[in-house]
Structure 1
Amino acid sequence: MRAGPARRRSAVAALALALAAADARADDAATDWRASAELAVSASPARADAPANPGLVDARRGEAGPALHVNARHAAGDLVLTADGWLQARRDWLRGETVSHGYLPEASASWQAGSSVNLSAGIGAFRWGSGYSWNPANPLTDVQANNTSRALAYRRDGDPFASIEFAFGQDLLALTVAQLRQTDRLLDRQERRENRAVLRYQAMFDGADITAFAAAGDGESFGGLSASAAPGDQLELHAELGLRSRRRAPSVRAVDLGPAQAPLAVLDFAPRPVATLSGLVGGQYTFADSTNLIVEFFHDGNGLSRGEFDALRAGIASSRERLDDPAFGAAAQGFLKDTTRLAGRMRRDYLFVRVARDELFARTDLHAYARTGLADGATVWGLLLRRAITPALRVQAGVELYRGDADSEARLIPVRQRVEAALIADF
């Protein structure tokens, strides 16, 4: 059995903190804890016709195993301790190995230093912004965390942070310093830690709110604006803007190898001093039967333009021709592998739609969603079914399909779909 020691220790620490808080007196109203155990299975068949992965990486997935999740919150006067941790083991039946993981999404302390001042520190996530599918206004966003209509919960270690907040009536001013692990492949290939200082101001109104962000760190500045409004009981509208001082999407460069050979395609991940503007506009409507509809359009100014995507595809074609080249075959493999890692959401304009209905029939919930790239029609289709067997036991299953034409970015994703299912017991 293989395990990541740091991940395992961090999750054990989270569970220990959570269980320590839960070990308080049963009648202590300041302690709240929840736990669940799950038995999960997931599978992803490889795409045989992925242009950037001609057998270089075994992208297939077939895993099953248990997981334990504990969340705890303990308040002692003005001090609040919060912990959230996962321990899981997965048996990969395709490769014949078992891998254990520990995750610590949150372990933090918060102290109410006065009637209007709050101090907090630890590790956690920063779910700021009004959008559902993406939050371009948030300088600390995690692009993987937003979609909750999946059978298996997204889990990763949280980011170290310290924050001070000042309340002014309904308004809030906060300063947060954090080390963000970047999960957007267009922003950073290595998922390295990024140092950020974020100033956030939130103003609340009757049925509306506006949040402004200003951030800096690692040679980059960022500004964001998020707003939402509820014109009625059933309709909510929202919008976000984010301005980044650098363009960080990789560019395709052609390295001249001399008159006798075609240029070598390489991906250049160096940031360029070009400002990028991203935005999202959307809304959600809840019908009388409790069906919830979300529609959003978003534009990623850091994404690839049509010309840049065409250059990427040309680089894929030329790299495939060089795979057997003794001098440049390794470089060609590197280009194709990096391109495969970028696949999923590398273009600029997308439309997202989600329909969710809880209690559709017999304690069964249904969620369906689609995200379509407006440049090439590449679409991610998703479906989740969740059924409560008892108040403390439920089963849920989901599928996500990646479809598109031969020239679309969907074909660059090395798997055709992802299927997941889980039996979850709460206690």
Structure 2
Amino acid sequence: MTRSPKIGEIVLLVMVLSACTARAGEYDFDIPGIKKRPYEIGGNLETRGILHRLNRHGLLYKTKYYDASESATRGEFHQILELNGRVLVGPLRARIKTHSEYVETYRHHDLDHELYEAYLTYNTSPAFTLQTGKRVFKWGKGYAWNPVGFVNRPKDPEDPERDLEGFTALGADFIRSFGPAGLQSLSFTPLILPVSNHINQELGESGDTLIAAKLYLLLYDTDLDFMVRLGPRRPEMYGIDFSRNLKENLEVHGELAYLRGYEHKALDDGGKLASQTSNAFSFLFGLRYLTASDTTLIFEYYHHGEGYDSGEADRFYSFLDQSCRNYLDTKNQQQIDRAGKVRQAYLRDKNFMKDYLYLKVSQKEPFDILYLTPYITLIANLNDGSFSVSPSATYRPVTNLELTLRTIFPIGGSMTEYGEKQDRCRMELRVKYYF
């Protein structure tokens, strides 16, 4: 695909209009008797540069770039424009959010447009709301993972706060409040999620219909959720989560999910990819702690019940290694094609094994440097001992501008998750402007 000659003009126009909007905002003031506008329009523009220091000895690199010239580094460039709007007309609310992204790598450049959200809600009363359309649901209390996120897009633990696309659903919210003690609040959210060639393709086959529901309770100052998702040709999903503030500066949370009848694909002893129907429990436990010096710690342990055990992972890496050797000896493309299919089956999740730890430590304005927040993130695979470390920093010099520098170092031996990562190191610089 060729680069559109109008992209630069569009980006420049958005920045100029945004700057004008921001300047006008400096002189906004409320006039008594004047109603606020029933709509909001905004968005953000992000430029992201990524530098990959490649792990040329890693199996994921060898099976993906087998036909590429030897290179120690590769670069990526992303230009992202997100627009969002809200309209309020009496009991009717509408929201839309778009995501446009231009990506340029050494192999290609492309421009993608996605509709992240487009939905309507109708409040018949304070206790009842109808909703329809495409919406981002945030089921679960975990920060890096959500095993009970049955209607969520999966997070990237290396970037868990990144905006994600929603799913299309028809649903409702029933809400009821009680006294200040015991059961304080209750809500129930049923959802119908249809599947077609154009919507919710990830959830099933065209013509399928899934149902999901969440029951929320505020019980003795503890947030509790009970979830379920059912549908044809997909596993039954049941879950529960909780969150509670033990102190003003200490919160604990957890999730438990049970999947019944999911398809587990793994290599057998003969090197063939075999499927079997299995059941699994996944769970997460975590906490957030804020110190008196504004240091925030987020810690989570995640057991991925559908993940692969050490023996299955060893067979996976041995298969990739043998496929690379066979290709070098024979130049038979089928060896690489088979490796690609197996890699896709195993790596469908961001973390594909059983047990993980997550730790993030951030410090607000260290040494009295205003608007600076450095942080460091650790993600560890407890099954093979490999891990990644990511020292990063975010700086907000003005209200609408955010600068982020991230570095990620995967560390581990051969035949381990992070030791076989495609990158030895990855550096990212993000410049994000809100309007």
Task: Indicate the TM-score class for this superposition, using the shorter chain for normalisation.
Answer: 0.7 to 0.9
Maintained 8 Å contact 2:49/2:78 = yes
Equivalent residue for 1:407? 415
Q: Which amino acid aligns with 1:130?
A: K
Equivalent residue for 2:116? 105
1:140 equivalent to 2:151? Answer: yes
Maintained 8 Å contact 2:151/2:167 = no
Matched-pair identity in %: 18
Q: Which runs of 5+ in 1 are unaligned?
A: 9-14, 182-190, 255-262
Equivalent residue for 2:132? 121
SS of residue in 2 equivalent to 1:246:
strand
User: Which of residues 265, 268, 273 in structure 2 aligns to 1:267?
Assistant: 273
Maintained 8 Å contact 2:152/2:166 = no
Maintained 8 Å contact 1:199/1:214 = yes
Deviations for 1:167-188, whole angstroms, at most 9, x for unmatched residues? 122211111123689xxxxxxx
Maintained 8 Å contact 1:138/1:242 = no
Equivalent residue for 1:334? 337
Equivalent residue for 1:192? 202
TM-score after normalising by structure 2: 0.80
For 1:279-358, what aligned pairs fall within 5 Å after superposition? 279-323=283-327, 329-341=332-344, 342-343=346-347, 344-358=350-364
SS of residue in 2 equivalent to 1:134:
coil
Equivalent residue for 1:386? 394
- Rate the CA distance shift 1:84–1:318 in 2: closer, same or farther, 3 A: same
Equivalent residue for 1:186? none
| Higher mean displacement: 349-358 or 406-415 | 406-415
SS of residue in 1 equivalent to 2:383:
coil
Q: Which amino acid aligns with 2:215?
A: Y
Question: Alpha carbon RMSD of aligned pairs, Å?
Answer: 3.0
1:84 equivalent to 2:97? Answer: yes
Maintained 8 Å contact 1:3/1:101 = no
Measure, in 2, the Cα distance between the counterparts of 1:133 and 1:53.
26
Q: Which runs of 5+ in 2 are unaligned?
A: 8-13, 22-33, 178-184
Q: Offset of 1:143 from its aligned partner?
A: 2.3
Measure, in 2, the Cα distance between the counterparts of 1:130 and 1:253.
36
Equivalent residue for 2:62? 54
Measure, in 1, the Cα distance between the counterparts of 2:308 and 2:389.
22
Q: Which amino acid aligns with 1:218?
A: P
- Rate the CA distance shift 1:253–1:202 in 2: closer, same or farther, 3 A: same
Q: Which amino acid aligns with 2:145?
A: W
Measure, in 2, the Cα distance between the counterparts of 1:72 and 1:337.
41
Measure, in 2, the Cα distance between the counterparts of 1:130 and 1:200.
13
Measure, in 1, the Cα distance between the counterparts of 2:148 and 2:195.
15
- Rate the CA distance shift 1:366–1:196 in 2: closer, same or farther, 3 A: farther
For 1:164-183, what aligned pairs fall within 5 Å after superposition? 164-169=172-177, 170-178=185-193
Deviations for 1:203-235, whole angstroms, at most 9, x for unmatched residues? 013431110011111332110010111111011
Q: Offset of 1:155 from its aligned partner?
A: 5.0
Q: Which amino acid aligns with 1:332?
A: Q
Q: Which amino acid aligns with 2:224?
A: I
Q: Offset of 1:156 from its aligned partner?
A: 5.0
Deviations for 1:130-168, whole angstroms, at most 9, x for unmatched residues? 11111112222322256556xxx7455432111112112
Deviations for 1:45-85, whole angstroms, at most 9, x for unmatched residues? 33201124425436975222533222222211111111112
TM-score after normalising by structure 1: 0.81
- Rate the CA distance shift 1:199–1:157 in 2: closer, same or farther, 3 A: closer
Measure, in 2, the Cα distance between the counterparts of 1:50 and 1:148.
23
Measure, in 1, the Cα distance between the counterparts of 2:239 and 2:321.
38
User: Which of residues 44, 50, 61 in structure 2 aligns to 1:36?
Assistant: 44
SS of residue in 2 equivalent to 1:322:
helix
Higher relative contact order (CA 8 A, sep 6+): 1
- Rate the CA distance shift 1:239–1:177 in 2: closer, same or farther, 3 A: same
| Higher mean displacement: 342-351 or 168-177 | 342-351
